[in-house]
């Protein structure tokens, strides 16, 4: 029986890279044409990145996550060929994928590739034919495309990574940048932007204790308010002392304002938020 990761990436994802001066881009084009696959390379890939994530430059460390996000979306209906320097890192360690590298000189780093082709002894059609035979032998074309459910899961995992770089799609609802109190809050805001979820940062303060004259002694300002879900969200840190203090304030808030919907979340609970409030459709779309 296939593992979850094998089922998730059971379609054909092929990367084609090569040394400078080798015709690996042409090999990638031939493979994509032979498989009727989508080619992500050069200007085409850059256009897709700009279309989905805006014209702002993408940090180099985030580029593989952005490219993999695009590839996973396309992978729900087509095979995908990715070509360019370090394109193998986009699909590294993913089952049912093929990483190709074209070279002319001996040596170099080859451990990250499934097959390495010598452009001194093989022409482009020959290399494309070898790739096709390898793809068929590995059974990459027989297991179907990526399901919408699995693509949504893959996109969630990738967006957690990209949110660290503040990358959001064009359709996002990014509000004016705020001065966040903690980096985890900015990551969470970026993630909400990615899903197109409207949010407000610390929009309201709830009094919790008063003196005998009615002056507020203690108040609580939840980190986020999500208008579409009518939900306040408080992001915790991993320090137990802070968590205990926040939990106490949340208990007081719920007792004094029973009509207010509030939830405390660790960063690991982001996915629970998506599924609990029916936001997974936004991910799949």
The hierarchical CATH code for the domain 183-284 is: 3.40.960
Mean pLDDT of 68-95: 87
Nearest one of 31, 13, 3, 15 to 140, comparing CA atoms: 13
**DSSP class of 216:** E
Residues of the chain with pLDDT > 70, as a percent, come to 77
- 4-146: CATH topology: Rossmann fold (3.40.50)
Q: What is the mean pLDDT of residues 184-211?
A: 84
Q: What is the pLDDT of residues 37-55, one digit of tens each?
A: 999 999 999 999 988 887 6
Q: Supply the angle between the helices 42-53 and 60-74 in degrees, to the nearest 10.
A: 90
Does this model's pTM top 0.75?
A: no
Per-residue tokens: 166: 């503040």
Q: Where are the domains of the chain?
A: 4-146, 183-284
The answer to whether 4-146 and 183-284 have equal CATH topology is no
At 82-122, the pLDDT tens digits run 999 889 999 877 667 888 888 876 555 666 788 888 888 78
Average pLDDT, the chain: 79
pLDDT at 15: 93
Per-residue model confidence (pLDDT) at position 277: 45
Helix, strand, coil proportions of the chain in percent (round to 5)? Answer: 45, 15, 40
Which tens digits make up the pLDDT trace of 248-268? 899 999 999 999 999 887 656
């Amino acid at each position: 029986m296939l593992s979850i990761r094998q089922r998730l990436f059971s379609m054909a994802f092929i990367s084609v890279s090569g040394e400078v001066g080798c015709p690996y881009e042409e090999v990638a084009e031939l493979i994509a044409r032979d498989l009727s696959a989508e080619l992500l390379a050069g200007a085409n890939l850059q256009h897709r990145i700009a279309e989905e994530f805006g014209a702002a430059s993408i940090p180099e460390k985030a580029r593989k996550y952005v490219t993999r996000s695009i590839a996973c979306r396309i992978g729900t209906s087509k095979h995908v060929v990715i070509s360019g320097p370090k394109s193998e890192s986009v699909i590294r360690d993913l089952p049912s994928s093929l990483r190709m590298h074209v070279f002319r000189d001996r040596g170099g780093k080859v451990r990250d590739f499934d097959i390495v082709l010598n452009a001194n002894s093989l022409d482009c059609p020959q290399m494309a034919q070898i790739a096709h035979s390898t793809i068929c032998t590995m059974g990459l074309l027989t297991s179907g495309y990526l399901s919408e459910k699995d693509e949504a899961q893959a996109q969630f995992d990738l967006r957690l990574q990209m949110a660290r770089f503040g990358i959001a799609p064009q359709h996002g609802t990014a509000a004016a940048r705020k001065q966040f109190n903690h980096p985890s809050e900015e990551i969470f805001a970026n993630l909400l932007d990615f899903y197109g979820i409207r949010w407000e940062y610390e929009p309201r303060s709830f009094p919790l204790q008063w003196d005998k004259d009615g002056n507020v002694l203690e108040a609580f300002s939840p980190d986020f308010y999500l208008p579409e879900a009518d939900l306040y969200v408080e992001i915790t840190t991993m320090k137990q002392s802070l968590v205990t203090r926040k939990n106490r304030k949340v208990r007081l808030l719920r007792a004094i304002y029973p009509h207010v919907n509030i939830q405390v979340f660790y960063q690991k609970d982001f996915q629970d938020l998506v599924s609990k409030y029916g936001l997974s459709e936004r991910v799949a779309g």
